[in-house]
Structure 1
Amino acid sequence: MENKRELFQVLTRRFGLLNKNCCSIGSVDISTVQSHIIYEIDKQHAPSMQQVADTLAMDITTFSRQIQKLVKMELVKKTPSEQDKRIYILSLTVQGKFVATSIDQSMNAYLDEVFSHMNEFERETVIRSIELLNKAMSKSHVCCSPMC
């Protein structure tokens, strides 16, 4: 059996997860972390800062710094909650929604191109395997914790 860590090291590099910027939309450079934040704000309905930070398993201080950058870039809007002014609700601006849609289209095109090199059985096997891996990782007590 191949070295499992090596498989994930190569997969991480090929997905570009180590790149400083994951993508450029127009004149805007988006980091991988910012891309994940934008995705979650777009996916969830009026999430709080804490909800998105928890979903991404990020500490709130690091997350807050990223949100401030995204607000400054005019991609994210931070609004005090009507119920509790200490809680901030996140939403995408029009430009943020455009960036989210652009990243989504780009990632889908990339994945479609990658999967085009496989037959239907292989594609289904890979998708099912990733689903199984995600499910197993969600049950792991060390999931989302740094190992070293």
Structure 2
Amino acid sequence: MEDIRAILQITMRRFGMLNKNCCSVEDFDISQVQSHILYELARSKGPSMQQVAETIGMDITTFSRQIQTLVKLELVEKRQSAEDKRMYHLYLTEKGKHLEDGINQQMLHYLGNVFLNLSEKESTDVVESLKILNAAMSKSNMCCKPYY
């Protein structure tokens, strides 16, 4: 069997997962974690802080610090729930939507460039293999289980 860990390590490095900042759009340098938060907020309608923290597999204390930073950067708006004053919902600001769209465009361009080096069958195989890997990871009791 091939060294799967080595393959995954190289993949993570090539995706820039070890870089302090993963994305730069205009004057913003965004960390990998912040990029994940913006991605989730762009695909949800006012999720609670707890929901997003669970989705990305982060403890609420660390997540809360990240949200404070994103609020200070005016990328995220935090609103108290009308039904439960202990709960807060998160929304992208217009600036946050613009930034997330820029990150999304960068990633689509990057992935499009990567997939140009594959045949149509290889592209399909890679996507299907990633789906299978993600499904297996979600069933493992040894790794994070984001709610996808």
Q: TM-score range by the shorter chain?
A: over 0.9
- In the TM superposition, 1:66-77 aligns within 5 A as 66-77=66-77
Unaligned runs of 5+ in 1: none
1:109-128 deviations in Å (ceiling 9; x for gaps): 10010000001000000000
The letter of the residue matching 2:52 is V
Following superposition, the deviation at residue 44 of structure 1 comes to 1.4
Structure-2 residue corresponding to 1:114? 114
Following superposition, the deviation at residue 143 of structure 1 comes to 1.6
Identity rate of aligned residues, in percent? 56
Structure-2 residue corresponding to 1:58? 58
Report the 3-state secondary structure (helix = DSSP H, G, I; strand = E; otherwise coil) of the residue aligned with 2:77: strand
The answer as to 2:87 corresponding to 1:87 is yes
Q: TM-score, normalised by structure 2?
A: 0.96
1:75-127 deviations in Å (ceiling 9; x for gaps): 00000011111100000000000011011111011001000000100000000
The letter of the residue matching 2:84 is D
The letter of the residue matching 2:31 is S
- Return the alpha-carbon distance in structure 2 between the equivalents of residues 18 and 122 of structure 1: 27
- In the TM superposition, 1:99-110 aligns within 5 A as 99-110=99-110
Following superposition, the deviation at residue 138 of structure 1 comes to 0.6
Report the 3-state secondary structure (helix = DSSP H, G, I; strand = E; otherwise coil) of the residue aligned with 1:90: strand
- Return the alpha-carbon distance in structure 2 between the equivalents of residues 144 and 9 of structure 1: 17
Extract structure 1 runs of 4+ deviating beyond 6 A: none
Structure-1 residue corresponding to 2:28? 28
Report the 3-state secondary structure (helix = DSSP H, G, I; strand = E; otherwise coil) of the residue aligned with 2:22: strand
Unaligned runs of 5+ in 2: none
- Return the alpha-carbon distance in structure 1 between the equivalents of residues 23 and 44 of structure 2: 22
| Bigger RCO of structures 1 and 2 (CA < 8 A, at least 6 apart) | 2
Following superposition, the deviation at residue 2 of structure 1 comes to 2.1
- Return the alpha-carbon distance in structure 1 between the equivalents of residues 104 and 25 of structure 2: 11
- Return the alpha-carbon distance in structure 2 between the equivalents of residues 109 and 117 of structure 1: 13
Q: TM-score, normalised by structure 1?
A: 0.96
